A = this chain, B = another copy of it.
């Protein structure tokens, strides 16, 4: 996570200020619950809320205390005591640091999830608009980078839309994985704290209760969360890679928007480079990489060790901030993407009709040629086109073996582009629920 690839709203979740605010809320809600249970005085709970709610926690002061006691939660509690006075002794009773740390991390990740879901919604929204805009814009479909058969640019975008719909569902599931609250004490036995406190804090913080925790919330949840982010980042990479390909000089079917003041290259003033989507490719590599240490974090020793902590201090912000930035950038790229329908047509015409070879193949078999023979006939004419000797349709019309099966009309009919578009509505209906 570096400023260059951060957006403030997501970065704010991970500031010390935000963290201490959440810690306070967890502690204060817990005291409140204990007051309800008659364990601590109601007035103390009220006073803690009152003094803490509007207090500005002093990050530098807390850091200074931590340098001495080498324990972050104790440092915070010490500072809190400076704010709320003697009633502070009712704070954190029967709790363990992880009750606060893990529940706070759950709140942060849940908030980050909300932003990521909103990001995906924005990606979906622009994809839908552009997909309908180019629903019937013909373009060549490519497998192996080689022209295959016609499709439409709208279908390409519908594919991305469906992929990000899945990404959205995964993100919602990932959010549910981590949005749990554990206030269960040193080894999860509720020895010194009533389970009702956990239930109360969970509700107040918008979390569900962790059914059973050790000292910590189990890390398989977080592994699943970060693995999901890695998968979503891979989908970002796919669409980014598609655009990078389309912007290649020889292809130039689409381009990232390029503002007037922008400079493509310090040395080559003519260049308009797909730098945003290249950047997304790199960011995807990073988000993916963070999934691994999250998985290694699962096997903590016994009721917990603290090896996960340094990892999460890094990947918590790094993964969410980077993916948030990437999704926002992706939405912007798609939103403003310059589409060159003319070049799409020109490229499609490049192979002299070869993209219709399968239709000819099918027609031959339907007219009685064996599959093997049909393949041979089509391929031998296709290879001539490949060698630059001329036009596919002409060769077919001139090939006596082909003509044994297909008339001139038969052949000409196979070169109709509309044939390939007849199910666009079917696909759009499936993906968007409308056509």
Contact = CB atoms under 8 A, between A and B. Distances in A.
A242 B214 CA distance: 13
Q: Which 7 A-B pairs rank lowest in CB-CB distance, beginning with the nearest?
A: A141-B187, A270-B382, A144-B273, A282-B310, A234-B298, A285-B293, A142-B302
B247 A145 contact: yes
What is the copy number of this chain in the assembly? 4
A290 to B, nearest CB: 7
A379 B270 contact: yes
A175 interface: no
A301 B151 CA distance: 15
A397 to B, nearest CB: 16
A31 interface: no
A115 interface: no
Interface in A191-222: 191-192, 195, 209, 211-215, 218-221
Nearest to A347: B250
B191 A420 contact: yes
A309 B150 CA distance: 24
6 contacts: A144-B271, A151-B303, A191-B423, A227-B230, A241-B299, A268-B355
Most buried by B among A4, A173, A248, A422: A248
A261 interface: yes
B279 A218 contact: no
Contacts of A238: 218-220, 298-300
A166 interface: yes
A121 to B, nearest CB: 17
A146 B249 contact: yes
Most buried by B among A89, A241, A244, A249: A249
A108 interface: no
A148 B223 CA distance: 25
Contact of A192 (B297, B302, B351, B359): B359
Given A215-B141, A248-B250, A190 B378 contact: no
A282 B303 contact: no
B95 A267 contact: yes
B231 A220 contact: yes
A295 B299 contact: no
Contacts of A186: 141, 143, 148-149, 265, 267-268, 358
A375 B284 CA distance: 33
A232 to B, nearest CB: 8
